[in-house]
Structure 1
Amino acid sequence: MLTLLGAKSAAAFAARGGHFRFHWPLLAAATLALSSCMPATMSVATTADPADPTAKVARVGYRSAVAPYTSLRPAAPMPWRERNDAVTPQPKQDR
């Protein structure tokens, strides 16, 4: 996101004819400010041991991706020969 902001700023300065110079202290301050918004991670001591067979884990849920599907076909398909003959133009008889 900061890269995109820097690229947009550089393009705006170049369009105005000015010279763009990136300010590293500003980047460091922005990074420090945004890092305080990150959620705190759990410490290693409070997590369950993956090798412990008695550790409690969340249940696994399953939802089918195609479960709500219903066929919207209005009728059974006809053989292709009859369908093709039904839409073919009729030959002219006057020739």
Structure 2
Amino acid sequence: MLTLSGAKFAAESSARGRHSLFNWPFLAAVALALSGCMPATTPIVGADPADPAAKAARAGYRSTIAPYASLRPATPAPWRERNDATAPQPKQDQ
């Protein structure tokens, strides 16, 4: 498929009168050839994580349920007294 695309591009560019050595199939082939010259790995900065003797910071413990308070159902309280205690007090007429 890449060869067909390259052939189409070459035919179109020659029909327009442009004969360029640097068309995209040529550049793709050069890039592919030069990618073989790159190093396989990059140098590791710092300690190697695969080294079992490498020092690592200790993991601290943090509870995920630290502010937990039990919310189990309790016996019902007398609602009228609770409601009266939380209701706003009537204003004093002067």
Give me the TM-score of the superposition, normalised by structure 1: 0.27
TM-score (norm 2): 0.27
Higher relative contact order (CA 8 A, sep 6+): 2
Which one has the largest radius of gyration? 2
